[in-house]
């Protein structure tokens, strides 16, 4: 409002903008006090009093406060400037003050982010369709929920809501708790204050958002139904992937925490409030498919890592997505060892689409094409300058009745851009050629068939040779086929290790299905999330680590319901040590895109194996103290560590004088990021199988250039002895730097296979004197 009066004078305008800027330099900060104060009202008052010390009045302080975190830990978020933040840091009792960041949801689609998710029925573990899950609550941190979706109807004969549940189903815009919540959807809250501080008040007149737990995006409905959706018969997307849809734990309860808004932006201040409530409400599992892009911040500056630590201390498993920044190395997110980080891989389903050129040449691509299309095929250059299929290259030459052949390589065009361009040109369809050898289908705004470079090249040559004539193309309706190998294959977009924050902890931990996942979708939102798409669907395909994360959350809910006393570390261990490291043909799992063999940096311990994870035989367990030692070894000070943990009143923490590497953290995988000389690592395994006798024998695959010995080689578990430690000695045998080598340690009793991936980077140099003598 001030700018307009200076419009005529540039210099003044500049000054006024500068003034406006400095007047608005307040940002959302999270002020963290660590210890939980018992009385909630006292805690809130304490927060206001504390904040008043940097304001002229208590009233101003009260206005600036956004959330008072008071259930599971103490702290608050407030809109303050950097001077105030710095002052607060120096106040006794304040553990840390950090700026609230914006997190993004982890779907692959760049436009209006949509995902692709396929229905777990056909592909996953029918035997798990048990009555299990009934006694567990999964908390979903996402864009909310579409409560009318059949996935959130009650399953038959559900028990009453667990008596330990303290959550709420809150009233809001188009969200009536009396009709929205039931024995399935038992909690629904929304967190908007942090988001509004960053982006201004939510205007529900111009966006389709709801000021309530209702999902205006689709992502939250999709992930929730993947984790815990009830069984729904005859789900499909226009007939594709027809089958019974259900979540991993179809009888588990759902509690929705809406922290992400509009296109999937989530404020850390809101996220921390959701952790505070969810822990207090009594969830058993938290599923969160978001993160902020690299570089990674220290654990004490990230609300999700802090929230996850508190959750872990209360026995709650936290499952995060790894991010969609692959396939380049070192971009994996959400790397805290007390949470589980999930990468994405494919399932064994394809949607082949046959094409016929001039009734003679046959090609196959991937699509969700529903009808028989007969049209003229034209090269991109007839409609787009330079053959670059982008709206800004359109020649204004309509392609009505034609199918356009586009190459991603011409102008580095993304498929979404090409679809929009073809749509603007009024084309009948698009054939999109891209470099990965295997194409994965997605939901499109116009009929789009994905083909690989070899077929695309043939089509292109045929087209250019018959330039003077017309090339007819027939495109036939796509088919749904299953049991297609290779599968699983690691998704190209799935973020890869090594872990850039703590390289001695392998991340991602595990992969799960995250390509072409069919799950529930709000009928009010088009399947492509675009306004030009007029379709309304109840089920939609999405892809992303956002989709693989809730698969794991569902499986964790099942394990939790069978083994309620297992710690989050034990459950993660069960997932990891039983994961598949081979595909359905018993070959090494490959990486999509490059078609090369995957490594532990792509798949972590491997692809999730839900049935085996229920009965892993042995687990690598950990307690909060183990993670505190990890934080010490990370070089954090006691004050920094106190920002992350909940300290029981009256207790203190100490770090050993000499920090060591983190290779001794009792993690289910072993990573040595710099092996300079012989190192011995300790691991402790705990018997959790019901068998009366348990004798485990080790087998080892040594990484190249490293000698591995394990002692003892045999573990005898008895009634009196349920935990046994063993030692792994690694000796470098080569002069090498910067090269990672991979091996494994497997314990087996003949029934259970307890596998840990082993990643070693030998870091040795030739002794210069010795080499001179040798010459
Ligand atoms: C920060 O806010 C305080 C209190 O409103 C004010 O006195 C101070 O000048 C501000 N500092 C900056 C750098 O804006
Ligand atoms: C939204 O629309 C209503 C009715 O047209 C109007 O009264 C209200 O002021 C609008 N709100 C905003 C934030 O524009
Ligand atoms: C777009 O294509 C449709 C048929 O596919 C046709 O009816 C329509 O006239 C075309 N529009 C323009 C502007 O060319
Ligand atoms: C195109 O090909 C058909 C059949 O091969 C032929 O009959 C027709 O004359 C050709 N048209 C042109 C313009 O070359
Ligand atoms: C490799 O070893 C050298 C010392 O020999 C050390 O300075 C360097 O940091 C090590 N590299 C890694 C990746 O740890
Ligand atoms: C292993 O642990 C399970 C459960 O903790 C117990 O039932 C079983 O007897 C134990 N086996 C041995 C050999 O101690």
Least confident of 92-96, 112-116, 283-287, 372-376: 112-116
- 636 vs 315: CA distance, rounded Å: 24
Cα distance between residue 19 and residue 22, in whole Å: 5
For residue 106, indicate whether it is catalytic: no
Residues 257 and 406 grouped into a single domain: no
CATH number at residue 282: 3.40.50.200
Ligand 5 atom showing the smallest separation from residue 761 Cα: 13
d(CA 209, CA 192): 11
Tens of pLDDT, residues 449-485 = 999 999 999 999 999 887 567 899 999 999 988 878 8
User: Ligand 1 pocket, 81 CB below 6 A?
Assistant: yes
Q: What pTM, to 2 d.p., does this model score? A: 0.89
Cα separation values, 16 from 2, 13, 25, 27, 36, Å: 8, 5, 14, 20, 44
Residue 708 has pLDDT above 60, yes or no: yes
Helix (H) or strand (E) holding 123: helix 120-123
Tokens of 163: 């008596």
CA 205 to ligand 2 center in whole angstroms? 6
**Phi and psi torsions of 773, nearest 5°:** -65, -40
Residue 2: count of CB within 10 angstroms of its CB: 10
Specify the CATH number for the domain of residue 726.
2.60.40.2310
**Separation between Cα atoms, residue 755 and residue 668, nearest integer Å:** 8
Give, using CA atoms, the residue closest to atom 4 of ligand 4. Answer: 469
The answer to the question of residue 405 being in a domain is yes
CA dihedral 177→187→69→561, nearest 10 degrees, is 170
Can you give the CATH number for the domain in which 60 is found? Answer: 3.30.70.80
What mean pLDDT, rounded, does the chain reach?
A: 87
| Confidence (pLDDT) at 350 | 86
* CATH code, domain with 457: 3.50.30.30
pLDDT of residue 38: 59
Residues 174 and 296 in one domain: yes
Number of domains in the chain: 4
Grade residue 4 by pLDDT with cuts at 50, 70 and 90: very low
Residue 241 contacts residue 350 (beta carbons within 8 Å): no
* 772 compared with 381, residue with greater pLDDT: 381
Could you read off the pLDDT of 205-223 as tens digits, one per residue?
A: 888 999 999 999 999 999 9
Closest CA to 139 of 289, 331, 283: 283
d(CA 118, CA 373): 25
Residue 764: inside a domain: yes
- Residue 725 placed within a domain: yes
Question: Residues 142, 228: one domain?
Answer: yes
In a domain, residue 627? The reply is no
Place of tokens 């498993």: 317
User: Pairing between strand 471-475 and 373-379?
Assistant: antiparallel
Rounded Cα gap, residues 401 and 620, in angstroms: 61
Domain final residue, candidates 433, 455, 479:
479
pLDDT digits (tens, 9 = 90+) for 128-175: 334 567 889 999 999 999 999 999 999 888 899 999 999 999 999 999
Mark whether 342 and 362 lie in a shared domain: no
The pLDDT score that the predictor gives to residue 748 is: 96
Among candidate residues 99, 117, 141, the one where a domain is terminated: 99
In sequence order, what are the residues at sequence separation of 6 or more whose Cβ sits closer than 8 angstroms to the Cβ of residue 671?
Answer: 498, 503, 504, 505, 506, 663, 758, 759, 760
Residue nearest to atom 8 of ligand 2 (CA): 205
Active site residue 330: no
Which residue's alpha carbon is at the smallest distance from atom 12 of ligand 6? 718
Greatest C-alpha distance within the chain? 88
pLDDT > 90 fraction of the chain, expressed in percent and rounded? 66
Q: Is 151 in the same domain as 275?
A: yes
On whether both 237 and 108 belong to a single domain, the answer is yes
Which residue owns the Cα nearest ligand 3 atom 10? 400
Last residue of a domain, one of 554, 586, 614: 614
In sequence order, which residues have a C-beta less than 8 Å from that of residue 187 and are 6 or more positions away? 137, 139, 165, 167, 168, 169, 181, 253, 254, 255, 256, 257, 281, 283
Q: Which of 112, 123, 134, 142 is catalytic?
A: 142
Ligand 2 geometric centre to CA of 202 (Å): 11
Query: For a pLDDT cut of 70, what percent of the chain falls above it?
Result: 90
Catalytic residue from among 546, 553, 573, 756: 546
Query: Which of 373, 375, 400, 404 to probe ligand 3 with, by most ligand atoms within 8 A of CB?
Result: 400
For atom 3 of ligand 2, the residue with the nearest CA is 205
Q: Is 465 in the pocket of ligand 3 (CB under 6 A)?
A: no
Could you tell me the distance, in angstroms and rounded to a whole number, from the CA of residue 721 to the centre of ligand 6? 9
Q: Do residues 296 and 157 share a domain?
A: yes
Taking CB atoms within 8 Å and a gap of at least 24, the contacts of 532-537 are 532/423, 532/445, 533/445, 537/237, 537/238
- Does residue 589 sit within a domain? yes
Ligand in nearest proximity to the CA of 762:
5
CA of 675 to the centre of ligand 5 (A): 9
Both 121 and 270 in one domain: the answer is yes
- 520 plus 567 within the same structural domain: yes
Name the residue with tokens 């800027």. 21
Residue 125 has pLDDT above 80, yes or no: no
Encode pLDDT of 486-527 as tens digits. 888 999 999 999 999 999 999 999 999 999 888 999 999 999
Gap between the Cα atoms of 279 and 166, Å rounded = 10
Looking at the fold, whether 509 and 565 belong to one and the same domain comes out as: yes
Q: Which position has the token pair 């086929």? A: 481
752 is a catalytic site residue: no
pLDDT digits (tens, 9 = 90+) for 310-349: 999 999 999 999 999 989 999 999 999 999 999 999 888 8
In a domain? residue 769: yes
Q: Does one domain contain both 517 and 584?
A: yes
Pair (406, 508) in one structural domain: no
pLDDT digit string, tens, across residues 580-613: 999 888 899 999 877 899 999 999 999 998 888 9
Position 683 in a domain: yes
State pLDDT tens for residues 742-762.
Answer: 999 999 999 999 999 999 999
Decide: 426 in ligand 3 pocket, CB within 6 A: yes
- 740: domain range? 618-622+666-774
Write the DSSP string, 636-647: --HHHHHTTSPP
Q: Distance between CA 120 and CA 249 in Å, rounded?
A: 11
Has residue 630 been placed in a domain? no
């Amino acid at each position: 409002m001030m700018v307009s009066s200076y419009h005529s004078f540039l210099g003044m305008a500049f000054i006024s903008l500068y003034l406006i800027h400095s007047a608005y330099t307040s940002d959302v900060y999270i002020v963290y006090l660590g210890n939980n104060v018992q009385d909630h009202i006292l805690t809130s008052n304490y927060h206001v009093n504390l904040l008043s010390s940097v304001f002229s009045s208590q009233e101003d302080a009260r206005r600036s406060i956004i959330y008072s975190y008071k259930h599971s830990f103490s702290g608050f978020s407030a809109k303050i400037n950097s001077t105030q933040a710095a002052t607060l840091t120096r106040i006794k009792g304040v553990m840390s003050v950090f700026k609230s960041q914006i997190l993004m949801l982890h779907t692959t689609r760049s436009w209006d982010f949509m995902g692709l998710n396929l229905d777990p029925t056909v592909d996953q573990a029918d035997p798990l369709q048990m009555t299990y899950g009934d006694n567990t609550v999964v908390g979903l941190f996402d864009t909310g929920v579409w409560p009318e979706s059949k996935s959130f109807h009650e399953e038959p004969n559900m028990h009453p809501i667990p008596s330990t549940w303290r959550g709420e189903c809150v009233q809001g815009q188009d969200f009536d708790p009396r009709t929205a919540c039931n024995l399935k959807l038992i909690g629904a809250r929304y967190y908007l204050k942090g988001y509004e501080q960053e982006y201004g008040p939510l205007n529900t007149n111009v966006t389709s958002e709801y000021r309530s737990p209702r999902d205006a995006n689709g992502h939250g409905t999709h992930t929730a139904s993947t984790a815990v959706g009830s069984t729904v018969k005859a789900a499909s997307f226009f007939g594709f992937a027809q089958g019974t849809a259900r979540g991993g734990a179809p009888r588990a309860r759902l509690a929705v925490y809406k922290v992400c808004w509009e296109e999937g932006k989530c404020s850390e201040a809101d996220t921390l409030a959701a952790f505070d409530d969810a822990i207090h409400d009594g969830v058993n599992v938290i599923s969160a498919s978001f993160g902020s892009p690299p570089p990674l911040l220290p654990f004490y500056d990230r609300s999700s890592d802090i929230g996850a630590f508190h959750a872990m201390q209360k026995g709650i498993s936290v499952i995060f997505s790894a991010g969609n920044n692959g396939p380049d190395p070192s971009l994996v997110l959400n790397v805290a060892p007390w949470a589980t980080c999930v990468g994405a891989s494919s399932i064994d389903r394809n949607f082949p689409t046959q094409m016929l050129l001039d009734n003679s040449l046959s090609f196959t691509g991937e699509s969700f094409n529903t009808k028989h299309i007969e049209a003229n095929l034209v090269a991109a250059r007839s409609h787009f300058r330079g053959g670059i299929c982008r709206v800004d290259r359109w020649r204004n030459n309509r392609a009505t009745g034609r199918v356009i052949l586009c190459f991603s390589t011409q102008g580095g065009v993304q498929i979404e851009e090409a679809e929009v361009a073809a749509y603007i040109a009024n084309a009948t369809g698009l054939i999109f050629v891209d470099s990965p050898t295997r194409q994965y289908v997605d939901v499109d705004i116009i009929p789009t068939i994905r083909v690989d470079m070899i077929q695309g090249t043939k089509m292109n040559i045929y087209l250019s040779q018959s330039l003077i004539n017309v090339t007819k193309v027939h495109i036939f309706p796509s088919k749904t086929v299953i049991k297609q190998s290779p599968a699983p294959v690691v998704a190209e977009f799935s973020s890869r290790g090594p872990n850039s924050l703590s390289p001695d902890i392998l991340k991602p931990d595990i992969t799960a299905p995250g390509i072409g996942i069919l799950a529930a979708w709000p009928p009010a939102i088009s399947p492509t999330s675009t306004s030009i798409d007029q379709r309304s669907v109840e089920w939609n395909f999405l892809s992303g680590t956002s989709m693989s994360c809730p698969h794991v959350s569902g499986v964790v809910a099942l394990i939790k319901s069978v083994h309620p006393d297992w710690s989050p570390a034990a459950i993660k261990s069960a997932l990891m040590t039983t994961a598949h490291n081979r595909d359905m043909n018993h070959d090494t799992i490959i990486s999509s895109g490059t078609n090369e063999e995957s490594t532990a940096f792509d798949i972590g311990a491997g692809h999730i194996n839900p049935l085996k994870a229920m009965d892993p035989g042995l687990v690598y367990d950990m307690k909060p103290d183990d993670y505190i030692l990890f934080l010490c070894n990370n070089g954090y000070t006691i004050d920094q560590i106190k920002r992350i943990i909940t300290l029981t009143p009256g207790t203190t923490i100490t770090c050993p004088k000499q920090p060591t590497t983190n290779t001794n953290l009792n993690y289910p995988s072993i990573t040595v990021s710099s092996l300079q000389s012989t190192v011995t690592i300790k691991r402790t395994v705990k018997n959790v199988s019901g068998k009366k006798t348990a004798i485990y024998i080790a087998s080892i695959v040594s990484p190249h250039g490293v000698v591995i010995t394990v002692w003892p080689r045999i573990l005898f578990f008895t009634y009196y002895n349920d935990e046994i430690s063993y030692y792994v000695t690694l000796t470098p045998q080569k002069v090498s730097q910067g090269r990672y080598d991979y091996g494994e340690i497997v314990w087996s009793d003949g029934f259970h296979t307890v596998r840990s991936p082993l990643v070693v980077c030998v870091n040795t140099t030739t002794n210069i004197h010795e080499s001179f003598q040798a010459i």
